[in-house]
Structure formats: structure tokens, C-alpha cells
Structure 1
């Protein structure tokens, strides 16, 4: 995962359904040589897919990593799934970087969000 320490931490916005999510959960191997560079390239590449809405990442202290990609429609998700550079990275991931992973794809039927209003006075 890339370092996003400069950007504020916020989840991807709630979009008007329907749209699609791809939930990738993984446990990585000890040797992560080349992972960071490839991951950064994949994050840049997916942003060029028409219909890509955003991505959330989370990492547990125990080593489970979760990435959720949001896509406007099935065509956008298919374009990402079949991208040649992404396919090559997937293959390398199975050989080198992942002990195990699961991928769940779902159509979102309901979505909403919340943002706390910032107070202008100190309490």
C-alpha cells in the first residue's frame, strides 16, 4: 500500500446505487520485494479506468490487508479485471506476495455516508 500520510483519512464517498465493489482481502508473504512499486503502479493504473470511483485500504495489526475498489458499472470492473498489466501483477502476487487471498465482487444496492460537522468554537 502506498503512503498516504499527507492526505486526510476519509472513506470513499457514498455514491448513488447501483454500483459495484471488489473486496480484496489478503495475507502477504514475508518477502515483499517489488510489492510497493507494483502496488503504486496498480493504484495509478486503475484511476484511468472510466467508471472507477475510488478505493479504500485497511490493514489489521495481525497482517490482514483489505482493499475495496468501487466501480460505477460492471463494464468498468471488467476493464480493470482484464487489464493486461493488472493480470501480470495478479500472477506475480500469487507467486511471490500472497500467502492467501479472497476476492468478493458485489453490486451495491444501498449506500449512505456521514461526515461530522466541524465546530468553529473550542469546547
Structure 2
């Protein structure tokens, strides 16, 4: 997982259904040599997949990592799954970086979001 601490925190916005999600949940090994670089490359590479809508990441203090990728259609997700660099990273992940993982793929049939509006600049309360 790349260092997102400098970016504003916000989830990927809601999209018009249907679309697909790939939920990758993992627990990593102690040795993470090369993981950050590979993860950054995968994030860069997936953005080139037509139909890629975005990605959310979370990690618990206990070490559980969750990445959710959003894709416009099944073909977009299949293109990402078949990408040669991505497949090589998956192989290395199983050999070196993951203690365990699960992958769930689902078709989204309903989606909505909420964002609290900010007070206009220069306005004071009361």
C-alpha cells in the first residue's frame, strides 16, 4: 500500500450502477522488501485500464489490509486481472508478502454517497 498520508482522506465517490468491485483483504508477512515499490507501480498501472473507476485502501493497527478496486464493467476487471505485470506481482505476493489473503468480486447494483458541506470561507457562526 502506498503512503496516502499526505492526500486528503475521502472514499471513492459513488458511481452509476451497475459496476464491479474487487475487494482484496490481506495480512502481510514481516518481510516487505520491494512491496512499496511494486504497490506504487500497480496503482500507476491500473489507472491505465479503460473502465477503472478508483481505489480505496485501509489498514488496521492489527495488520489487516483492505483494498477495494472499482471497475465500470466485467471486461475492465478481466483486463486488470490478465495484465502481465499484475500477474507477476501476484505471484511475488504469494511467495513473499502475504501471510493470507482473500479476493471478493461483486457486481454493485446500488450506490450512493454523502459529503458534509463545508461552511463558506469567511462566514462565522452566531
Provide TM-score, normalisation by structure 2: 0.95
The answer as to 2:66 corresponding to 1:66 is: yes
Structure 1 portions without partners, runs of 5+: none
Secondary structure of the equivalent of 1:4? coil
**Counterpart position of 2:113:** 113
Q: How many residues align?
A: 123
Rg larger in structure: 2
Distance in 1, matches of 2:5 and 2:95, equals 30
**Counterpart position of 2:20:** 20
Distance in 1, matches of 2:7 and 2:32, equals 24
Provide TM-score, normalisation by structure 1: 0.97
Distance in 2, matches of 1:101 and 1:4, equals 21
**Counterpart position of 1:90:** 90
**How far 1:119 moved relative to its partner?**
1.3
Structure 2 portions without partners, runs of 5+: none
**How far 1:6 moved relative to its partner?**
2.6
RMSD over aligned CA atoms reads: 0.8
Distance in 2, matches of 1:8 and 1:32, equals 26
**How far 1:4 moved relative to its partner?**
2.0
